[in-house]
Amino acid sequence: MFPYVEIKRFNTPHDALKEGFTSNQIWSVCECDETGDWVYGPPHHYVNRAFVITTRETHDHDTYYTENFSEEN
């Protein structure tokens, strides 16, 4: 589960950078086709990216979190 609180949601990392956020505050949120999971990771991802979010907490550009929103849970 993603452990941080979302500050704001954007369509692209560039939009977040224009508002003053740093790249290590931006997370790509991507949907996995096979599982329906959401994967939160570094901002450079664009395949299956639904949106990006910003957080107060920073990341190392190498950490990922997965949330499962399937109907089975």
By the 10 Å C-beta count (0-12 exposed, 13-18 middle, 19+ buried), 2 is classed as middle
Q: Are the beta carbons of 11 and 53 closer than 8 angstroms? A: no
- State how far the Cα of 27 lies from the Cα of 58, in Å rounded to an integer: 9
Q: pLDDT value at position 34? A: 79
**Residue 40: half-sphere exposure toward Cβ, Cα within 13 Å:** 21
Q: Are the beta carbons of 56 and 26 closer than 8 angstroms? A: no
Q: pLDDT value at position 33? A: 77
Q: What is the pTM of this model?
A: 0.87
Segments of the chain with pLDDT less than 70: 69-73
